[in-house]
Amino acid sequence: RVGRTVVLCSLVLAWAMPVVAATTVFQWLFHSEFGIVNWALTSIGLDSFERYPWFANGTAAFAILVTLIVWQSVPFAAITLYSALTTVPLELYESARLDGAGAGRIFRSVTFPMLRPIFLLVFSLEVIWTFKAFVQIWVMTRGGPGDATTILPVYAVQTALSSQRYDLGSAASMITVVLMSGVLVLYFRQMFRQEDETR
């Protein structure tokens, strides 16, 4: 129980941390001179990482941003799925075990069907939030180096503000809205279908 409480509190703290604050922490962790990552790697003998410029490498910068966004997204998904998991009747698991089902079979036959709407909800929201991951990218790399970390919202701002091409910026924004709307349509369509099946 204590371990579960600690994990849940850690997830809530990670989720509640402001986006700019979390991004600043990651900037410090991977700073070429003062970052703890370079210090830790050089301490174990990897001298090639001394003063390594993580944000000057497109692949490294992209990987850091993916790690940051996943780190901020996992708490919501974990807490939501854990809360939904506590609503699954224990009798279903006991019946499955009496029938000789293993852990994998129980997940496929009991857990996943019961949590399917929640899985779909979490997936849809995570996709939308990933499309909205503008602040992290703008604060950390502004879409660079080059265009290695440029996504549609970043491209829209860069095009509209830097190049004064408001038409292209608006078009990129509309494409983002259409893509996110498509995800929502798929979610609501599946949700209504499941409601019809349960009637």
What is the tally of structural domains in the chain? 1
Q: Is the pLDDT of residue 57 over 70?
A: yes
User: According to the model, what pLDDT value does residue 197 have?
Assistant: 66
Q: Is the pLDDT of residue 198 over 70?
A: no
* 52-61, 70-79, 125-134: least confidently modelled range: 125-134
**Range of the structural domain that residue 12 is part of:** 2-198
Name the residue among 197, 73, 67, 167 with its Cα closest to residue 123: 73
Q: Which two structure tokens, joined as six digits, stand for 161?
A: 């503000």
Residue burial 140-163, b: 16+ Cβ < 10 Å; e: rest: bbebbbeebbbbbbbbbbbbbeee
Q: Is the pLDDT of residue 77 over 70?
A: yes
Name the pTM for this structure.
0.81
Gap between the Cα atoms of 124 and 105, Å rounded: 26
Percent of the chain with pLDDT over 70: 97
Q: Tell me, what CATH number does 134's domain have?
A: 1.10.3720.10
